[in-house]
Amino acid sequence: MSHKTKILFTHNTAMWYRLPFFKKVSEIYDLDLVFTHINVIKDIYDNNINKEIEGLEGVNYTILPNTHGFCKGLFKKARGNYDVVVGGSWDTVQELIETIMLHLMTRIKNKPFIIWREDWDWERENTFKEKILNHVIKYITTHSDAILVPGTLHKEYFTKLGVLPNKIHIMPNVSNISGYDENIKRNHENKKILYVGRLIPRKGVDYLIKAYAKLKRQINNIELIIIGSGSEEDTLKEYVRDNNIDNVTFTGKIDNNQLKNYYQQSNLVVIPSINEGMGDPWVFVLNEAMYYGNPVIATTAVGAAPDMIEDNGFIVPEKNSDELYSAMYQILSDDTTEEIMGKNSRMIIENKFQYSNMVNAFTKTIESVINNYIL
């Protein structure tokens, strides 16, 4: 009986779009999946995780408890007999310390360590704390066996830190969306522009509203639908009201299973993120919008944009409502352009952003680090 590679895979939380990936990996390897900070999903998306995670049936996983921000039991896990360790995070001081210790333990045991991160070279504060963090990240990543990243911006960032390019592997981010109906015909008489996401400063929704107000003076039959909630909701509603901007609908937060109805009825999806202390590491709304055949517009503050937007939309400078307006006008003023871009979105998703693409990249990375240790 051949040996199945044993992997300790640490990850902070169980996002719904990750679960099919973990399940498929567990079918290939002897996987010990460990969630270190499960409440992250509640902090960001207000979703609760129970002890039994739906979608991970048959997967060997553990949810570690937290005390003062530290996960308990991680290093006991790490002392086990694994062929490869995958993980690493530095979103909090506690996670950074855990990553340092996990990295050190793999070095002592002479086992491969793979980092999986979504950082890219967004504008950072030039503080002493940030400089120290940068040095620590540089050391950990340049002394790891491989880095898994979702896209080209992310690869460029770690290359800039000094990681050898052949150690950086692109593993595309994928979302477990379904229900695409190729028979859906979009309404060109009353066009819908869609935003989906949190209503916080970093999402740049105010720039979208300003661009929409300008576009409304050129194209009458349009509507802006804003899905989500957050700290900026009242401020954005007040701006719309004070400036008499017609046909703007705030739906509030809605369930994921209702989103497809909005995507399939929209004519354009816009992601107007800005750099507010950090850029957007990826933004899965792009995956979802493209799956349902939407043209897309994203700003330069969206990590996924260079990999997902080709001839299916536009990438515009962040914090620039005029450029956003211009891109929106080019798409919505021409039905043919809109339809072609929508079809291209769907094609890109089908060809490049399936779980098979993600798993293939992961297995190649595992094989490469194991082969290097054998050699």
The domain spanning residue 83 has which CATH number? 3.40.50.2000
| Residues 128, 268 within the same domain | no
Name the residue with higher pLDDT: 181 or 274.
274
Mean of pLDDT values over 182-201? 93
User: Does 162 share its domain with 198?
Assistant: no
Domain check: are 161 and 113 in the same one?
yes
| Residue 101 belongs to some domain of the structure | yes
Look at residue 89 and tell me if it is in a domain. yes
3-state secondary structure the chain: CCCCCEEEEEECCCCCCCHHHHHHHHHHCEEEEEECCCCHHHHHHCCCCCCCCCCCCCCCEEECCEECCEECCHHHHHCCCCCEEEECCCCCHHHHHHHHHHHHHHHHHCCCEEEECCCCCCCCCCCHHHHHHHHHHHHHHHCCCEEEECCHHHHHHHHHHCCCHHHEEECCCCCCCCCCCCCCCCCCCCEEEEEECCCCHHHCHHHHHHHHHHHHCCCCCEEEEEECCCCCHHHHHHHHHHCCCCCEEEEECCCHHHHHHHHHHCCEEEECCCCCCCCECCCCHHHHHHHCCCCEEEECCECCHHHHCCCCEEEECCCCHHHHHHHHHHHHCCHHHHHHHHHHHHHHHHHHCCHHHHHHHHHHHHHHHHHHHHC
pLDDT tens string 149-180:
999 999 999 999 999 999 999 999 999 999 99
Task: Examine residue 48 and state whether it is found in any structural domain, yes or no.
Answer: yes
Residues 256 and 338 in one domain: yes
Same domain, 138 and 246: no
Q: Please tell me the predicted confidence (pLDDT) of residue 368.
A: 95
Domain count of the fold of the chain: 2
* Same domain flag for 88 and 204: no
Residue 229 within any structural domain of the chain: yes
Domain annotation covers residue 26: yes
Q: What are the pLDDT digits (tens) for 321-358?
A: 999 999 999 999 999 999 999 999 999 999 999 999 99
Percentage of the residues of the chain whose pLDDT score is greater than 90: 87
Residues facing residue 270 across a β-bridge? 297
Tokens of 130: 């940030």
**Measured between alpha carbons, how far is 365 from 372 in angstroms, rounded to an integer?**
11
Q: Are residues 301 and 223 in the same domain?
A: yes
Report the pLDDT value the prediction gives residue 50, as an integer from 0 to 100. Answer: 66
Q: Is residue 183 part of a domain?
A: no
Tell me: do 328 and 366 sit in the same domain.
no
Identify the pLDDT of residue 372.
83
Asked whether residue 180 is domain-assigned, the answer is no
Average pLDDT over every residue of 262-274: 97
Cα torsion for 53, 58, 62, 63, to the nearest 10°?
0
What pLDDT, in 10s, does the model give residues 223-266?
A: 999 999 999 999 999 999 999 999 999 999 998 889 999 999 99
Q: Both 146 and 199 in a single domain?
A: no
Torsion of CA 94, 100, 102, 107, to 10 degrees: -170
Distance of alpha carbon 120 from alpha carbon 139, whole angstroms: 17
Domain that holds residue 15: 6-174+354-374
Residue 371 has pLDDT above 90, yes or no: no
**pLDDT tier for residue 302 given thresholds of 50, 70 and 90:** very high
Would 182 be classed as within a structural domain? no
- Find, among 254, 274, 265, the residue nearest to 210 by Cα: 274
Does residue 1 carry a pLDDT above 50? no
Q: Tell me: do 152 and 28 sit in the same domain.
A: yes
And the tokens for 63?
Answer: 């949810």
Query: Is there a single domain that holds both residue 157 and residue 286?
Result: no
Question: How distant, in Å, are the alpha carbons of 172, 205, 298, 361 from that of 354?
Answer: 8, 29, 21, 11
Residues 87 and 151 in one domain: yes
